[in-house]
Chain A
Amino acid sequence: GNSVTQMEGPVTLSEEAFLTINCTYTATGYPSLFWYVQYPGEGLQLLLKATKADDKGSNKGFEATYRKETTSFHLEKGSVQVSDSAVYFCALRETGNTPLVFGKGTRLSVIA
Chain B
Amino acid sequence: EADIYQTPRYLVIGTGKKITLECSQTMGHDKMYWYQQDPGMELHLIHYSYGVNSTEKGDLSSESTVSRIRTEHFPLTLESARPSHTSQYLCASSDPGSGDTEAFFGQGTRLTVV
Contacts and interface: CB of A to CB of B under 8 A. Distances in A.
B42 A99 contact: no
B101 A96 contact: yes
A97 B50 contact: yes
SS class of chain A's interface: helix, strand, loop or mixed? strand
Output the residue of A42, A44, A49, A97 with the most chain B CB within 10 A: A44
A97 B96 contact: yes
A49 B96 CA distance: 14
Interface residues of A, number: 23
A88 to B, nearest CB: 10
Q: Which 7 A-B pairs have the closest CB atoms?
A: A96-B96, A43-B105, A105-B41, A44-B105, A32-B101, A43-B107, A102-B43
Interface residues of B, number: 24
Given A44-B90, A100-B103, A102-B43, 6 more contacts: A34-B101, A42-B107, A93-B102, A95-B96, A99-B48, A100-B92
Contacts of A51: 101
A107 interface: yes
Interface of A: 32, 34, 36, 38, 42-46, 49, 51, 87, 89, 93, 95-97, 99-100, 102, 104-105, 107
Interface in B7-61: 31, 33, 40-43, 45, 48, 50, 58
